[in-house]
Amino acid sequence: MDPSERRRILADMHYIRRLIDETLLQVLTALDAHWSQIPAAAQETILRLRAELADQLRDAVTSFDRGIKINAFLKDLEAIDAVLEFAYDAIHAGKTSEIFRNAGGPGQEATDRIISLLQRPPAQGERKLTESGAGLESMLGNALGISKDAVIAAQQATAEYFTKVDFPAEIPDDTTQEHALVVQLVLNEPVETQVEGQVEIVFADPQAPEYVEVHVTAPGFAERTGVWTRTLAVSQGNDSQPAIFLLKLQETGSKAQRITVDFYHRGRNVGSFVFETQVTSAGFTRTGGPTAERPATGNTTIENSVVRGTATVVRALDGVRLSAGTSPVDVELRITRDGKALHFMLHSARAYVGYHWRSMGKIELDGLDDPASYFEQRTERLSELANKPINGLSETEAEDYQIELAVLGYDLYQQLFPETLRQEYWKLLALRDKIQQKENRQMSLLITSDEPWVPWELIKPFEEDKPESDFLAGAFQLSRWLAGRGPMQALSVHSAQLVAPDLDLDFVKDEKIYFASLSQAGIQVPPPIVAQSDFIKMARRGGVQLIHVATHGNFNSQDVNSSPIKLQDKDLIPSDLSRMSERGLVKDRPLVFFNTCHSGRLGFDLTKPGGWAQRMVDQFGVAAFVGSHWAINDQLAAIFSRTFYDELRGQKTLGEAFHSARIAIRDKQPANPTWLAYTLYGDPNSRIELGSQGQ
């Protein structure tokens, strides 16, 4: 088989990321064994690539980043004919035609050994192998500190767990009694639980436990220890020990109390759920019967304090995938809602950031009277500004519009940032500057929330005695997520579907041309969908990893799940799609980009957030969703999408690509609020591979 045929076969395959360090060692071993037969020019190229990889691994901070660097190195080697002659079998064994949606890489100790191996002259490496009689398994043991069998076992060590959550459905209106909230991961489905859905845990080492952090937010309660975080140690084949929180009402007089539980694994939010418990007259349940007598002392035990039941689930946890090798975001702003109160916390898994579930205060939305109307009025004005011609503004108009945007952003800052968060914000800016200087990247900020109103991207902090701040959307790689299942880490796109009816949008033709060009990157691109029925068939059938919608959209504030997307024959609305019937979306979990007006907005559907973002993120669990809060300019929308996809093809992270696209259209016309309209629901550190990278 000649090199071109081998290269063609490899181009349709993907490296198994969680075995990528093993593949690297196999390839290096094969090349070392035949080093004298490799042409001098190829030797020079290989040595240069080895030196570059050693430097990159030395600078990489996380195992995920190291895995990405090794993946790129191996792809570069595939371009060398001599490598395909002597190391083809090793490369082919490390690849698969399947798509893996999580990634990994070596730990720090293994990385140090790999760097040493990369820097060792190949002839010396060949001589050592011959002298010692060492084979691949021995080499793996030396380089990684584990055996080949252990690496393969880790790939296969995946177990399904159920979430078991107990808390009383009703509690008395009494500040002296404690009530146990019990959270556990179990192998068998419990008869009664607050939460539906399985938790899939991938064990990096089958012999070692995985650790899941549980954090509870319950503003109406005090916790006996004052600590709102517990850690679950999950060993393969066993239930976890229960995490127990002993809660006591802080004040009497409420009718219901809301509790939020977040799961974190390796620094990432992998799932959340919210439930309510009813507060009844002290000493009686709603059925009129007396409650069981309980001691009010500090000696309360689980046996005599917990009342098992199923309190009202507000937002359920619909499956969580815990997986290794992911770089967490720099900072997460976690916002929980309790009635009209928003509670803020800053959290980071990065030690140098210094936040671990630190409360940033709360705000009451009562002063806004009707939050939905408050934001609706501002959205209408932003839509008016977005419809202004981007090339026809006078210098005075452009300046006036920019000032108006800044005033809107400052007004939101005053209304929505608690005093504690205001004080802390400037420390975040200082940290962002340090990251920019040291790592030459923009700091990532993930807002995880379940409130349906706020355009966080538009907020522009300002204090008289502080340095100038950009809008949040400009200052950070800003993304969002809805509390529920955690966002995905990675996605490989091999089939992309454009949805673009023939309407009056001149620049949609640019998006059609761009999508047609994706076939050159090895992506299957069928003809654009124009009809509502064809969209529903596609969502049901699946087989697509990227869905891009370029058309008109609107927002129905009276019924958010009737917010229309205009297609050729009839409008498409969120309620047209259901989790039960649209199995293709649920199975594929694609990247979905609605390049339409108002598609990223949320509102209330009875008691929970609704709209396109909620439907795609919460119900279908897509890898990421891009939409807009208000009207967007046709020309700027086309530039945004083209820049976004080009950056992804350049192997930028999701957050980097999105921020670059945002800044690109701001540079085109900063007075037009289209650059602030876009919102990203997804993990900013996730990787979206568009076909064959680099083509």
pLDDT digit string (tens) for 592-612?
Answer: 998 886 444 444 333 334 578
Strand partners, 259: 275
pLDDT confidence of residue 369: 52
Tokens 């969209």 correspond to what residue?
A: 535
Q: Which of 277-281, 319-323, 663-667 has the highest mean pLDDT?
A: 663-667
* Consecutive H or E run containing 605: strand 603-605
pLDDT confidence of residue 166: 85
615 vs 109, higher pLDDT = 615
Give the C-alpha separation, 387 to 633, whole Å: 6
Give the C-alpha separation, 361 to 570, whole Å: 46
Tokens 């290096």 correspond to what residue?
A: 28
* Beta carbons of 469 and 429 less than 8 angstroms apart: yes
Q: Which of 180-194, 313-327, 347-361, 407-421 has the highest mean pLDDT?
A: 407-421
Q: Which of 117-121, 122-126, 233-237, 445-449 has the highest mean pLDDT?
A: 445-449
Q: What confidence tens digit (pLDDT) does each residue in 298-334 have? A: 333 333 333 334 445 544 444 444 544 457 889 999 9
493 vs 188, higher pLDDT = 493
Percent of the chain's residues with pLDDT above 70: 77
pLDDT confidence of residue 148: 41
Q: Kindly list the structural domains of the chain, giving each domain's residue range(s) and its CATH number in brackets, ordered by start.
A: 3-155 (no CATH), 158-325 (2.60.40.10)
pLDDT confidence of residue 504: 63
Give the C-alpha separation, 388 to 398, whole Å: 10
C-alpha dist (Å) from residue 562 to 553, 558, 576:
11, 9, 9
pLDDT confidence of residue 111: 84
DSSP of 439-487, one letter per residue?
HSSPPEEEEEE--S---GGG-----TTS-----HHHHSEEEEEESSBPP
C-alpha dist (Å) from residue 307 to 66, 240, 245, 299, 539:
48, 21, 13, 17, 43
Strand partners, 232: 212
133 vs 352, higher pLDDT = 352
Give the C-alpha separation, 166 to 392, whole Å: 61
- Which two three-digit tokens encode residue 475? 């200052």
Q: What confidence tens digit (pLDDT) does each residue in 557-568 have? A: 554 455 678 888
pLDDT confidence of residue 602: 40
Q: What confidence tens digit (pLDDT) does each residue in 509-552 have? A: 888 899 999 988 889 999 999 998 999 999 899 899 999 998 87
pLDDT confidence of residue 410: 94
Using the predicted structure, report yes or no on whether residue 553 has a pLDDT greater than 60: yes
Q: For residue 654, how many other CB atoms are within 10 A of its CB?
A: 30
Give the C-alpha separation, 453 to 88, whole Å: 54
pLDDT confidence of residue 641: 93
Q: What is the mean pLDDT of the chain?
A: 78
Backbone angles phi, psi at 240, to 5 degrees: -75, 160
- Which two three-digit tokens encode residue 91? 């490369």
Question: What 8-state DSSP symbol labels residue 80?
Answer: -
Q: At 147, is the pLDDT very low, low, confident or very high (cuts 50, 70, 90)?
A: very low
pLDDT confidence of residue 94: 81
Mean pLDDT along residues 378-386 = 83
Using the predicted structure, report yes or no on whether residue 40 has a pLDDT greater than 70: yes
Within 8 A by CB and 6+ apart from 306, the residues are 166, 168, 179, 180, 182
* Beta carbons of 528 and 500 less than 8 angstroms apart: yes
Within 8 A by CB and 6+ apart from 156, the residues are none
Q: At 139, is the pLDDT very low, low, confident or very high (cuts 50, 70, 90)?
A: very low
Angle between helices 136-144 and 148-156 (to 10 degrees): 80
Question: For the chain, what is the radius of gyration of the CA atoms?
Answer: 27
Using the predicted structure, report yes or no on whether residue 428 has a pLDDT greater than 70: yes
Give the C-alpha separation, 539 to 604, whole Å: 24
Using the predicted structure, report yes or no on whether residue 101 has a pLDDT greater than 80: no
- Which two three-digit tokens encode residue 260? 């939020």
C-alpha dist (Å) from residue 78 to 43, 83, 85, 418, 622:
14, 7, 10, 54, 32
130 vs 688, higher pLDDT = 688
Least confident segment among 103-107, 318-322, 625-629, 635-639:
318-322
Diameter over CA atoms, the chain: 89
Using the predicted structure, report yes or no on whether residue 222 has a pLDDT greater than 80: yes
Give the C-alpha separation, 283 to 262, whole Å: 31
Strand partners, 261: 216, 273
- Dihedral angle over CA of 586, 590, 596, 600, nearest 10: 70
621: exposed, middle or buried (Cβ count in 10 Å: 0-12, 13-18, 19+): buried
Least confident segment among 2-16, 168-182, 240-254:
2-16
2: exposed, middle or buried (Cβ count in 10 Å: 0-12, 13-18, 19+): exposed
Mean pLDDT along residues 96-105 = 57
Give, in degrees to the nearest 5, the angle at Cα 297 between 292 and 301.
60
Using the predicted structure, report yes or no on whether residue 637 has a pLDDT greater than 70: yes
* Beta carbons of 611 and 560 less than 8 angstroms apart: yes
pLDDT confidence of residue 46: 92
Mean pLDDT along residues 450-454 = 70
Distance of CA 174 to the CA centre of its chain: 40
Give the C-alpha separation, 561 to 609, whole Å: 10
pLDDT confidence of residue 238: 84
Least confident segment among 34-43, 265-274, 387-396:
265-274
Using the predicted structure, report yes or no on whether residue 157 has a pLDDT greater than 70: no
Using the predicted structure, report yes or no on whether residue 648 has a pLDDT greater than 90: yes
Percent of the chain's residues with pLDDT above 90: 28
Using the predicted structure, report yes or no on whether residue 461 has a pLDDT greater than 70: yes
Using the predicted structure, report yes or no on whether residue 336 has a pLDDT greater than 60: yes
pLDDT confidence of residue 377: 74
Q: What confidence tens digit (pLDDT) does each residue in 246-275 have? A: 999 999 988 889 888 888 877 777 777 788
* Beta carbons of 613 and 627 less than 8 angstroms apart: yes
Give the C-alpha separation, 591 to 610, whole Å: 19
- Which two three-digit tokens encode residue 507? 């620049």
Within 8 A by CB and 6+ apart from 55, the residues are none
Q: Is 687 helix (H, G, I), strand (E, B) or coil?
A: strand
Mean pLDDT along residues 451-459 = 82
Within 8 A by CB and 6+ apart from 299, the residues are none
Give the C-alpha separation, 75 to 10, whole Å: 9
Tokens 């992309």 correspond to what residue?
A: 496
Least confident segment among 279-288, 333-342, 456-465:
279-288
The 8 Å CB, 24+ separation contacts for 570-575 are: 570/532, 571/532, 572/532, 572/535, 572/536, 574/610, 574/611, 574/612, 574/614, 574/615
Within 8 A by CB and 6+ apart from 555, the residues are 379, 563, 598, 601, 603, 611
pLDDT confidence of residue 116: 82
Give the C-alpha separation, 453 to 679, whole Å: 13
486 vs 93, higher pLDDT = 93
Q: Which amino acid is located at 337 in the chain?
A: R
pLDDT confidence of residue 135: 39
Strand partners, 342: 337, 363
Mean pLDDT along residues 394-414 = 92
Q: Is 240 helix (H, G, I), strand (E, B) or coil?
A: coil
Using the predicted structure, report yes or no on whether residue 17 has a pLDDT greater than 50: yes
